[in-house]
């Protein structure tokens, strides 16, 4: 028991590595602030393409979305980070991570928006168009607001997954929270820094997890 | 050498494909084994926890809620590193594939518990009352009346979640589980060529595109709304 306390909950070590972890948390926050808006925007783009009348464009979007949903994000990241240099393209860890996340999360967010758009009754389109609104204003002012409202729980839930996923950036030495904690672990020969990092993730994400549960229940009640 | 030849030479070199495809295939088998094990234990454990929660024993339910919330908020890679590098220091040595299997099963169990529990709570009260009044016990009602409906309701949301968690088998490469990504990066470092990585990516896509497409079909097929 004492050994467990010393190896996993060593307060002295936690105190010592806290500044390092805090810097890692800052980098994680910075990364999230970059990749979440990128993914949301990319997903919206994908969903809008699937509304297009050009079948080739729609098919291309479906194929790309399925490809990037099938490839594990870590595989995508390593392919970009370790594979592209062989073709003479050297990406920094930050760029490789952003690009991998953009491709992956655009696909997931895109599917969510698409489900939201599908959930808007067809009469809404027809009513909007018959009052003289053009196709674009109909999408922007009538369809999208309702579509997004219907899938808010899924959007939040996917955003939690994206935040959790930023931890894989540690594999390409991007100095985010998990990387900092793992560095501290190998320096101190003690697992307490990783326990502390785990606690930080849980403390930050737990309110969002609760929020998703509540949103899902409220939507189910309708 | 033309640009095209250089591209093929870098990402699809035939000699390397010929040499390393058996290694990659071994990786595919490892990925499949762990994926099947995770889906099986994760869903079963999730169902068991949701059923247990239906008995509404306060301390037990509190534990279940904490377990579920923590595992939904914790990145799996953090848990994997923590268990794999932490436990040996207190004298417990688990093989890397066991660590991967345990962590991913627990994560899937947490999500599955929430989904099955939502199904259990959405079963109308009248069904419980009707079943109980015909003389069925609480457990029989749960097993034969409520759970079949809860499982059916849970299929669409569970499908995508299960696929996403199964793809996390790739995280095993960080602790040296010999799955596809691990076989690919090992071969890449031996050959100094990107072909093995490309083979790994293709292997994953070949494995998971059918699953993603099947998932989309299941979602529409099982979409079931109670009147």
Interval A139-165 mean pLDDT: 93
Cα separation, B178 vs A211, in Å, equals 38
pTM, two decimal places:
0.90
Which candidate from B73, B91, B208 shows the least CB-CB separation from A70? B208
Q: What's the confidence (pLDDT) of residue A222?
A: 54
pLDDT at position B204 over 80: yes
Contacts of B85 in chain A (CB under 8 A): 185, 191, 194
Asked if A175 and A27 touch (Cβ cutoff 8 Å), the reply is yes
Portion of chain B with pLDDT greater than 90, in percent: 66
Contacts of A194 in chain B (CB under 8 A): 78, 81-82, 85-86
- In chain A, the residue whose alpha carbon lies closest to the alpha carbon of B214 is A66
Contacts of A166 in chain B (CB under 8 A): 75
Per-residue pLDDT reduced to its tens digit, B20-59 = 999 999 999 999 999 999 999 999 999 999 999 999 999 9
pLDDT at position B226 over 50: no
Q: Which residue has the higher pLDDT, B106 or A69?
A: B106
Asked if A178 and A196 touch (Cβ cutoff 8 Å), the reply is no
Q: Is residue A214 less than 8 Å (CB to CB) from chain B?
A: no
Per-residue pLDDT reduced to its tens digit, B1-17 = 788 888 888 889 888 99
Give alpha helix (H) positions in A119-191. 122-130, 135-137, 144-150, 152-165, 177-188
Q: Write out B118-170 in H/E/C secondary structure.
A: HHHHCCCHHHHHHHHHCCCCHHHHHHHHHHHHHHHHHHHHHHHHHHHHHHHHH
DSSP state of A82: I
Q: What's the confidence (pLDDT) of residue B199?
A: 93
Which candidate from A71, A78, A190 shows the least CB-CB separation from B185? A78
Contacts of B205 in chain A (CB under 8 A): 67, 70-71
Q: Is residue A87 less than 8 Å (CB to CB) from chain B?
A: yes
Contact B81 A194 (CB under 8 A): yes
Q: Is residue B140 less than 8 Å (CB to CB) from chain A?
A: no
Q: How far is CA B96 from the centre of its chain?
A: 17
pLDDT at position B92 over 60: yes
pLDDT at position B218 over 50: yes
Per-residue pLDDT reduced to its tens digit, A79-118 = 999 999 888 889 999 999 999 999 999 999 999 999 899 9
Cα separation, A141 vs A148, in Å, equals 12
Residue B90: pLDDT band (50, 70, 90) is confident
Which candidate from A78, A168, A191 shows the least CB-CB separation from B82? A191
Asked if B16 and B192 touch (Cβ cutoff 8 Å), the reply is no
Q: What's the confidence (pLDDT) of residue B216?
A: 82
DSSP state of A54: -
Residue B224: pLDDT band (50, 70, 90) is low
Contacts of A191 in chain B (CB under 8 A): 82, 85-86, 89
Residue to test with chain B: of A69, A177, A207, A212, most B Cβ within 10 A = A69
Q: What's the confidence (pLDDT) of residue B66?
A: 94
Residue B155: pLDDT band (50, 70, 90) is confident
Residue reference for tokens 């595989």: A75
Q: What's the confidence (pLDDT) of residue A217?
A: 74
pLDDT at position B142 over 70: yes
Q: What's the confidence (pLDDT) of residue A220?
A: 62
Contacts of A197 in chain B (CB under 8 A): 78
Q: Is residue A31 less than 8 Å (CB to CB) from chain B?
A: no
Stated as kind and residue range, the H or E segment containing B88 is: none
pLDDT at position B227 over 80: no
Q: What's the confidence (pLDDT) of residue A126?
A: 92
Q: Is residue B130 less than 8 Å (CB to CB) from chain A?
A: no
pLDDT at position A219 over 80: no
Contacts of A208 in chain B (CB under 8 A): 73
Q: Is residue A66 less than 8 Å (CB to CB) from chain B?
A: yes
Interval A4-29 mean pLDDT: 92
Which B-chain residues 19-78 have CB contacts (< 8 A) with chain A? 69-70, 72-78
Tokens describing residue A65: 């979305």
pLDDT at position A30 over 90: yes
Interval A176-204 mean pLDDT: 94
pLDDT at position B75 over 50: yes
DSSP state of A53: S
Give the gap in angstroms from C-alpha A130 to the nearest C-alpha of chain B.
Answer: 31
Cα separation, A116 vs A150, in Å, equals 6
């Amino acid at each position: 028991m004492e050994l467990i306390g010393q190896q996993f909950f060593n307060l002295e070590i936690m105190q010592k590595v806290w500044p390092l972890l805090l810097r890692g948390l800052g980098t994680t926050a910075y990364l999230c602030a970059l990749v979440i808006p990128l993914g949301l925007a990319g997903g919206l783009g994908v969903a809008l393409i699937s509304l297009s009348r050009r079948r080739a464009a729609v098919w291309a979007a479906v194929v790309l979305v399925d490809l990037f949903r099938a490839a594990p994000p870590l595989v995508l990241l390593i392919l970009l980070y370790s594979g592209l240099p062989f073709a003479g393209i050297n990406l920094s860890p930050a760029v490789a991570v952003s690009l991998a996340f953009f491709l992956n999360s655009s696909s997931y967010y895109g599917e969510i928006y698409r489900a939201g758009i599908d959930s808007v009754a067809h009469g809404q389109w027809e009513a909007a168009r018959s009052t003289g609104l053009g196709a674009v204003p109909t999408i922007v002012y009538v369809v999208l607001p309702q579509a997004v409202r219907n899938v808010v729980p899924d959007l939040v839930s996917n955003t939690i997954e994206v935040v959790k996923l930023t931890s894989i950036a540690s594999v390409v030495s991007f100095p985010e929270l998990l990387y900092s904690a793992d560095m501290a672990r190998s320096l101190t020969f003690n697992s307490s820094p990783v326990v502390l990092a785990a606690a930080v993730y849980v403390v930050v994400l737990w309110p969002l997890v609760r929020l998703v549960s509540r949103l899902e229940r409220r939507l189910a009640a309708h | 050498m033309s640009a095209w030849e250089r591209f093929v030479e870098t990402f699809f070199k035939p000699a390397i494909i010929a040499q390393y495809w058996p290694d990659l295939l071994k990786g595919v088998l490892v990925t499949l084994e762990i994926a099947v094990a995770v889906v099986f234990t994760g869903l079963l454990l999730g169902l068991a926890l949701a059923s247990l929660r239906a008995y509404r024993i306060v301390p037990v339910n509190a534990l279940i809620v904490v377990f579920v919330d923590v595992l939904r908020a914790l990145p799996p890679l953090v848990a994997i590193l923590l268990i794999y590098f932490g436990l040996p220091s207190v004298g417990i040595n688990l093989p890397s594939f066991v660590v991967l299997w345990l962590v991913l099963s627990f994560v899937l169990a947490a999500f599955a518990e929430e989904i099955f529990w939502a199904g259990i709570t959405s079963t109308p009260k009248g069904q419980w009352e009707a079943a109980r009044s015909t003389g069925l016990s609480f457990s029989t009602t749960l097993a034969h009346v409520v759970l079949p409906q809860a499982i059916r309701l849970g299929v669409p949301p569970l499908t995508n979640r299960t696929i996403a968690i199964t793809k996390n088998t790739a995280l095993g490469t960080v602790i040296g589980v010999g799955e596809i990504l691990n076989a690919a990066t090992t071969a890449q470092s031996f050959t100094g060529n990107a072909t093995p990585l490309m083979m790994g990516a293709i292997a994953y896509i070949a494995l998971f595109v059918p699953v993603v497409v099947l998932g989309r079909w299941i979602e529409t097929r099982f979409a079931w709304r109670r009147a």
